[in-house]
Amino acid sequence: MAVAIRTTDFPEGFGPDMYDRVQAEMNVASDPPEGLVFHWAGQVDGKWTVMDVWGSRDAYDRFREERLFPAIRTLSGMDPAGGPQPTIAEFAVHNYIKP
């Protein structure tokens, strides 16, 4: 079942600049991760927010462990699982249209 994952309330220092660096490190635009349906990022009510739709929660979890966390480690030298965590909310997706 498809899921939407909203990530917000990032730790201090994580915003558009770090997001752009992480995206460049992962090369998602040219090499999208398996299971990613849709991605966007931007300011929502003054907070940096990332929203994805994934084919399954397992696909998101694999992406996070295999690509996202290693990219953050490479760029920051810190373990993203060991420090302050952003708020992650998961929503069931009833339907989506991909033209």
Q: Residue 98: its pLDDT value, please?
A: 83
Q: Which long-range contacts (CB under 8 A, 24 or more apart) does 17-23 make?
A: 18/75, 18/76, 19/48, 19/50, 21/75, 22/68, 22/71, 22/72, 22/75
pLDDT tens string 44-75: 999 999 999 999 999 999 999 999 999 999 99
Q: Residue 99: its pLDDT value, please?
A: 85
Q: Residue 84: its pLDDT value, please?
A: 87
Q: Residue 71: its pLDDT value, please?
A: 96
pLDDT tens string 10-51: 988 889 999 999 999 999 999 999 999 999 999 999 999 999
Q: Residue 82: its pLDDT value, please?
A: 87
Q: Residue 83: its pLDDT value, please?
A: 81
Q: Yes or no: is domain 3-92 CATH 3.30.470.10?
A: no
pTM: 0.90
Domain positions in the chain:
3-92
**Taking a C-beta distance cutoff of 8 angstroms, is the pair 70, 22 a contact?**
no
**Taking a C-beta distance cutoff of 8 angstroms, is the pair 9, 86 a contact?**
yes
